[in-house]
Amino acid sequence: MTSASSIPSAGRDGVQQLKSAWRMLLRLWDSMAIYMPLLMMGALALGTYWLVHNTPIFSAPEAATEARHEVDYFMRKFTVKNFDEGGRLKSEIYGMEGRHFPDTDILEIDQVRIRSTNPEGHVTVATANRAYVNSDGSEVQLTGNARVVREASLDASGKDRPRLEFRGDFLHAFLNEERVTSHKPVVLIRGSDQFTGDSFAYDNLDQVANLKGRVRGVLMPKSAAGASGALRPTPPAR
């Protein structure tokens, strides 16, 4: 009898425990239901983060960045030589220091000396405190005590070509075209004659100098020039 009455009591205790557990589960669910939207938003955010970092991206090619005006190499106490197609020396550039800028392909030179030879073998020498030279050395801008000198020579007909010199704070020399220009005051010395102007353009091929602004000139008599040795005497005709 004792064993038969204890079995129903154990069953009732189990049912009570099951009901208690179920009530606790419901209370826990009610508590979690309050935070469910936040949990779902967090799970969605984590999923989006994972997709962003694991999805392959096919990006457009990047646009080429513009070259900045910065030095990419420099030289000290250097000499640069340029030759023509036949291997003949066209120009020789010497400087105390040179800086190259890739965006403009310009070589900036301090204390420059440029020696250029044209196809006829006539030599022109340019000096300045600073020069800006293009990539092939055919164009030079001289600043600060700029000076361009073409030594005396003979032309194609055998006549004397007197020494020619240009001086100024700025000179723009086109070596291949044998031209010199300036928008600033210059001094032109031809043999023993001297001219000044506010700006000028000279074409060696045409033998024409065009001075503008306040132009002044001093012409020396040929006898005085010959006595001073400024002009070479013309050989007597035979």
pLDDT score, position 84: 81
If asked whether residues 97 and 173 sit together in one domain, one would say: yes
If asked whether residues 9 and 82 sit together in one domain, one would say: no
pLDDT score, position 237: 36
Residue 230 lies in a domain: no
Closest alpha carbon to 130 in 165, 169, 186, 166: 169
Give residue-wise pLDDT tens across range 85-104: 888 888 888 999 999 999 88
Block mean pLDDT (10 aa), the chain, length 238: 50 69 70 65 67 57 64 90 84 92 91 87 90 87 94 78 92 87 94 92 87 90 54 38
pLDDT score, position 172: 94
- Please count the structural domains in the chain: 2
* CATH number for 183: 2.60.450.10
- The backbone torsions φ and ψ at residue 116, rounded to the nearest 5 degrees and listed phi first, read -120, 140
pLDDT score, position 147: 94
Give residue-wise pLDDT tens across range 35-66: 666 666 766 666 666 666 665 555 555 555 56
Residue 175 lies in a domain: yes
Rg, the chain, Cα only? 45
pLDDT score, position 236: 38
Note down the domain range covering 186.
73-221
**175 CB neighbour count, 10 Å cutoff:** 23
Specify the pTM. 0.62
